[in-house]
Chains A and B, each alone.
Chain A
Amino acid sequence: MNEKELEIAENIKGMLSKNLRIPAEELDYEVPLFGDGIGLDSVDSLEIISCIDASYNVDMTGVDKEHFYNITSLTKYVVANM
């Protein structure tokens, strides 16, 4: 990741930790967020969409699941759609 991507990834990590109460030590940029990883669900994805929209003005409503896979994929989507 370049500097800008790292900044966004770190910001998303902070948001996941603060808004979704995921302990920061459980989060790295690659850990799967849904399913057997961190175990997020559809309500959490609404919160992620809302926060990314508020922070970057990027609307992820209806976006494919693969972009929600981990912090890296979320970051890439944000960068590509800013």
Chain B
Amino acid sequence: MNKTVNTRCVVTGLGLISAIGNDVNECWENALAGKSGIKKVTSVDDTNCYANLGAEVSCDTLDVDDLSKEVDRVSKLCLKASREAMKDAAYEIAADEASRVGVIMGSCVGGVVSIENYVTKGGKTEDINRMSISQIATHVANAVGAKGVITNVGNACAAGTISIAYACELIRAGVADAFIVGGADAFASVPYSGFLALHALSENPCSPFNHSNGITLGEGSGALVVESYEHAMKRGAKIYCDVLSAGISSDAHHITAPRTDGVGQMYAIRTAIKNSGITPADIDYINAHGTGTGKNDQAEFLSLHTIFDEETDKLSVSSTKAMVGHCLGAAGAIEAVFAVKALTENKIPPTVGYTEEDLAALPEKAGKIDFMPNEMKEKELNYVMSNSFAFGGSNASIIFSKKPGDVKETETDEKIYVTGMGIVSPLGNGVANYIEKATSGASMETASGIANVGKEDYDKFDVKMAFYRKLDKFSLMQVISGLEAMQSAGIEVTEDNTESLGMIVGTGDGPITTVYEFQEAISAQGNANGSAFNFPNTVYNAAGGYLSIKNGMRGYNVTVTSGAQAGLSAVCYAYNELKQNRASAMMASGTDENSEVMTKLYNQLGLTTDAKKSAYDGGNGFNLSDGSTTIVLEKESYAKEHGAKLYAEVAGYGMAHANIGIGDLAGSEEALVSAMNQALEAAGVKASDIDCVFGFANGNAMVDDMEKKGLAALFEDMPVIEVKDIVGEARAAAATLSAGHAALTLAGELGTSQKGYVFKNDATIEKATINTENFKNVLAIAYAQGGTYSAVVLKKAE
């Protein structure tokens, strides 16, 4: 049975910083005036580079407070826009509602400026915690006091749009009342050099839908306050517009180039329109992706003409990238702010840069669509769309409306089951291997774990050399665990089901090793000599993109990065997509890499130790390791349709954050308890119904003490099983594995007893052999430095 979930989501605050202004009004006035922010670059070295233009932010108030001084430039930009959005929304989060308010930010390259600083300025410890995308939303959450779902979307140039879509999904799911969403990216050497290497930068200012000879990079941040209509009304907020529905898809085609047939883009656009309860004829204006590369513009022309030409004579389309440049993970957010301003003021910003000659050539390409050359127009607008398409074949489309709309989103009451699994770990690859190792009491032999992917894996899953040689280790681990998971679930991708199969990849550190090595190379050889081969692997969603290319899945495909717990938050996210009927089956993965680079960084942070550690050993340090775990979640009807094995039911989840310092955990127990309580409530069980907790303890006292404090708040005597005793601190891979191991336990795959611990509520914890035979309800939990937690209740499959 499906019920309608059309909770109105409204935009109540806007924030913006870009090359054409340091706040919304300045950016908007300049956009309407057609003023371009594209100039010769100043923040990166352009020696011997064939293109030297960029759209850089000029703002001397980025360091307005102590917090801003301590963060990467990407977070400075994001904090600036977010604070403006909160001020514009006149919203101050009250303590008693903070757990219902979240932050979701999109980014492509995250703290890459800090990676450059680390590499070129003496390897300072303070730069390490600034490198990952993971930190961006945390900084915003701490600045505004949000304690709900705090995460970042790493889908490259579609990230900003997806962040808004996910926030609305969660509001409609009843998980949250309000979000600060958007995206940010800073101008930096890695993307500049990488796009140069791909010959994707234009020598002249980018010229979308016109000369189409390359992009101009920009930087900035867009932020929006999105809340349920009820929440907005209750606090008397001014409302800009409604956010209707969105469409998210994957091309399953190429890591950098869009499909020439536009199929992925069109699925995203059509899904957004259909689920918004409108028709193509209703769309008045589209803020296009419009990067200005030949391949993008050609595919986008095709998609727009195919969907809209027969339906409407009144469509206007513009690309504001001609003024603010391509701001990568911020693009979708910045363009969403422009789209909302256009809608509410009935003014459409132009696509600048057309000469008389260009104008003469435009009608043939534009057909019935008004591509808004050079001049803004005033026009009554009711529905506007913003589109973003990205590396990894990621597509996102979202619709803003003046009217409440007739959103067609639904929610199923079907149960969600774990039906398959794939594991890459330092103990070897494959679920059968893991079961053998786990039941024989094996653990990592050394204090630093490294998983290996090789010929045996390629042969097993028919991965050809022409494919696997392109992938870095981060992507290889993801692809192998994903392929095993789909195979074990018995799902074959066909033309009929491809768009209903999706994946959420969670990662704490993403491809930081590859980004770091790319930075080292260009620091030595110059920005003109970046590697075209390696650059595509620097984006966080490359791993999920490659997996979709390999297995052909064209459905929902998002990479979230929010510290080590991202692997379990991916399970929460995937569960939500199935409950809201955006997919029939979803992979949920956690992947993180160990390498010389990662070992060096974690050593320098003082988080690792040379001693072999188990949970609750006490003292500082854990055993850094890596891997990838993928579990397949399916709706009951779909699983039964193809006779899938039901390992366990995923019954509910919770996510929470504490406003403590980056890299800290002390004082965050309230968030752990909040996440666990939310999960119990969502699953309809009480703490006393839980038979076992699958924990996150890793031998580092700070982490293990936090787990004990959380357990003490909810449970009396409680059996605890720790997967990191087996695979080490594999971060996101271990976080997903806590749920995977729980599912294997409930399915009886790991025998009738396991080594574990018994927590007693006098705060002692003792090693014990746990009888698992009669487990009915269990809880998997995961933590991230900075006090972000996820919790998932799993039930024995009926």
Residues of A within 8 A of B (CB): 19-23, 26, 38-40, 43-44, 46-47, 50, 54
Closest to A45 in B: B532
Q: Is the CB of A44 within 8 A of B465?
A: no
Closest to B256 in A: A43
Within the assembled complex, what's the spacing in Å between the Cα atoms of A40 and B256? 14
Please indicate the chain B residues that have their CB under 8 angstroms from the CB of A54 in the complex.
529
Tell me, rounded to whole Å, the shortest Cβ–Cβ distance linking B494 to chain A: 25
- B contact residues, range: 10 to 19
Within the assembled complex, what's the spacing in Å between the Cα atoms of A19 and B198? 15
Q: Is the CB of B465 within 8 A of A43?
A: no
Within the assembled complex, what's the spacing in Å between the Cα atoms of A21 and B536? 15
Q: Is the CB of A43 within 8 A of B466?
A: no
Q: Is the CB of B469 within 8 A of A22?
A: yes
Residue B640 interfacial (CB < 8 Å): no
Q: Is the CB of A19 within 8 A of B465?
A: no
Q: Is the CB of B529 within 8 A of A43?
A: no
Tell me, rounded to whole Å, the shortest Cβ–Cβ distance linking A33 to chain B: 10
Please indicate the chain A residues that have their CB under 8 angstroms from the CB of B529 in the complex.
50, 54
Q: Is the CB of A47 within 8 A of B465?
A: no
Please indicate the chain B residues that have their CB under 8 angstroms from the CB of A22 in the complex.
465, 469
Please indicate the chain B residues that have their CB under 8 angstroms from the CB of A19 in the complex.
531, 533
Within the assembled complex, what's the spacing in Å between the Cα atoms of A23 and B466? 10
Sorted from nearest, which 6 A-B pairs have the closest CB atoms? A39-B466, A46-B532, A21-B469, A47-B533, A47-B532, A43-B532
Residue B199 interfacial (CB < 8 Å): yes
By CB atoms of chain B within 10 A, which of A43, A46, A47 has the most?
A: A43
Please indicate the chain B residues that have their CB under 8 angstroms from the CB of A43 in the complex.
198, 256, 532-533, 536
**Known: A46-B197, A46-B199. Is A20-B533 also a contact (CB below 8 A)?**
yes
Tell me, rounded to whole Å, the shortest Cβ–Cβ distance linking A25 to chain B: 10
Residue B40 interfacial (CB < 8 Å): no
List 11 contacting pairs A-B, 8 Å CB cutoff, sorted by A: A20-B469, A21-B469, A23-B465, A26-B465, A40-B466, A43-B198, A43-B532, A44-B532, A46-B197, A47-B533, A50-B197
The proximity string for B residues 717-748 relative to A, scoring 1 for CB distances below 8 Å and 0 otherwise, is 00000000000000000000000000000000
Within the assembled complex, what's the spacing in Å between the Cα atoms of A19 and B531? 8
The proximity string for B residues 518-542 relative to A, scoring 1 for CB distances below 8 Å and 0 otherwise, is 0000000000010111001000000
Tell me, rounded to whole Å, the shortest Cβ–Cβ distance linking B193 to chain A: 11
Within the assembled complex, what's the spacing in Å between the Cα atoms of A21 and B531? 13
Tell me, rounded to whole Å, the shortest Cβ–Cβ distance linking A58 to chain B: 15
A20-B469, A50-B197 provided; 15 other pairs, C-beta below 8 A? A20-B533, A21-B533, A22-B465, A22-B469, A38-B466, A39-B465, A39-B466, A43-B256, A43-B532, A44-B532, A46-B198, A46-B532, A46-B533, A47-B532, A47-B533
Within the assembled complex, what's the spacing in Å between the Cα atoms of A15 and B531? 12
Tell me, rounded to whole Å, the shortest Cβ–Cβ distance linking B198 to chain A: 6
Residues of B within 8 A of A (CB): 197-199, 256, 464-467, 469-470, 529, 531-533, 536
By CB atoms of chain B within 10 A, which of A23, A26, A47 has the most?
A: A47
Tell me, rounded to whole Å, the shortest Cβ–Cβ distance linking A81 to chain B: 20
Please indicate the chain A residues that have their CB under 8 angstroms from the CB of B536 in the complex.
43
Within the assembled complex, what's the spacing in Å between the Cα atoms of A57 and B610? 47
Closest to A53 in B: B529
Tell me, rounded to whole Å, the shortest Cβ–Cβ distance linking B734 to chain A: 28
Closest to A47 in B: B533
Within the assembled complex, what's the spacing in Å between the Cα atoms of A40 and B467? 9
**Chain A-chain B contacts (Cβ-Cβ < 8 Å), number:** 40
Within the assembled complex, what's the spacing in Å between the Cα atoms of A38 and B464? 10
Please indicate the chain B residues that have their CB under 8 angstroms from the CB of A47 in the complex.
197, 531-533
Q: Is the CB of A50 within 8 A of B465?
A: no
Please indicate the chain A residues that have their CB under 8 angstroms from the CB of B466 in the complex.
38-40
Please indicate the chain A residues that have their CB under 8 angstroms from the CB of B464 in the complex.
39
Tell me, rounded to whole Å, the shortest Cβ–Cβ distance linking B470 to chain A: 8
Please indicate the chain A residues that have their CB under 8 angstroms from the CB of B256 in the complex.
43
Closest to A54 in B: B529
Closest to A44 in B: B533
Within the assembled complex, what's the spacing in Å between the Cα atoms of A27 and B469? 13
Within the assembled complex, what's the spacing in Å between the Cα atoms of A21 and B537? 13
Q: Is the CB of B469 within 8 A of A50?
A: no
Please indicate the chain B residues that have their CB under 8 angstroms from the CB of A20 in the complex.
469, 533
Within the assembled complex, what's the spacing in Å between the Cα atoms of A21 and B472? 10
Within the assembled complex, what's the spacing in Å between the Cα atoms of A47 and B521? 14
Tell me, rounded to whole Å, the shortest Cβ–Cβ distance linking B438 to chain A: 33
Please indicate the chain A residues that have their CB under 8 angstroms from the CB of B470 in the complex.
21
Within the assembled complex, what's the spacing in Å between the Cα atoms of A61 and B198? 12
By CB atoms of chain A within 10 A, which of B464, B465, B467 has the most?
A: B465
Within the assembled complex, what's the spacing in Å between the Cα atoms of A22 and B198? 20
Tell me, rounded to whole Å, the shortest Cβ–Cβ distance linking B437 to chain A: 29
Closest to B257 in A: A42
Tell me, rounded to whole Å, the shortest Cβ–Cβ distance linking B660 to chain A: 42
Tell me, rounded to whole Å, the shortest Cβ–Cβ distance linking A43 to chain B: 5
Closest to A42 in B: B257
By CB atoms of chain A within 10 A, which of B531, B532, B536 has the most?
A: B532
Please indicate the chain A residues that have their CB under 8 angstroms from the CB of B197 in the complex.
46-47, 50
Tell me, rounded to whole Å, the shortest Cβ–Cβ distance linking A47 to chain B: 4
Closest to A21 in B: B469
Within the assembled complex, what's the spacing in Å between the Cα atoms of A59 and B241? 54
Within the assembled complex, what's the spacing in Å between the Cα atoms of A50 and B470? 17
Within the assembled complex, what's the spacing in Å between the Cα atoms of A39 and B469? 10
Tell me, rounded to whole Å, the shortest Cβ–Cβ distance linking B50 to chain A: 10
Tell me, rounded to whole Å, the shortest Cβ–Cβ distance linking B673 to chain A: 47
Within the assembled complex, what's the spacing in Å between the Cα atoms of A43 and B469? 13
Please indicate the chain B residues that have their CB under 8 angstroms from the CB of A46 in the complex.
197-199, 532-533
Tell me, rounded to whole Å, the shortest Cβ–Cβ distance linking B178 to chain A: 42
Within the assembled complex, what's the spacing in Å between the Cα atoms of A59 and B310? 47
Closest to B50 in A: A61
Tell me, rounded to whole Å, the shortest Cβ–Cβ distance linking B56 to chain A: 26
Please indicate the chain A residues that have their CB under 8 angstroms from the CB of B532 in the complex.
43-44, 46-47, 50
Tell me, rounded to whole Å, the shortest Cβ–Cβ distance linking A55 to chain B: 12
Within the assembled complex, what's the spacing in Å between the Cα atoms of A19 and B469? 10
Within the assembled complex, what's the spacing in Å between the Cα atoms of A22 and B469? 6
Tell me, rounded to whole Å, the shortest Cβ–Cβ distance linking A31 to chain B: 12
Closest to A37 in B: B466
Please indicate the chain A residues that have their CB under 8 angstroms from the CB of B469 in the complex.
20-23
Tell me, rounded to whole Å, the shortest Cβ–Cβ distance linking A60 to chain B: 13
Within the assembled complex, what's the spacing in Å between the Cα atoms of A47 and B465? 18
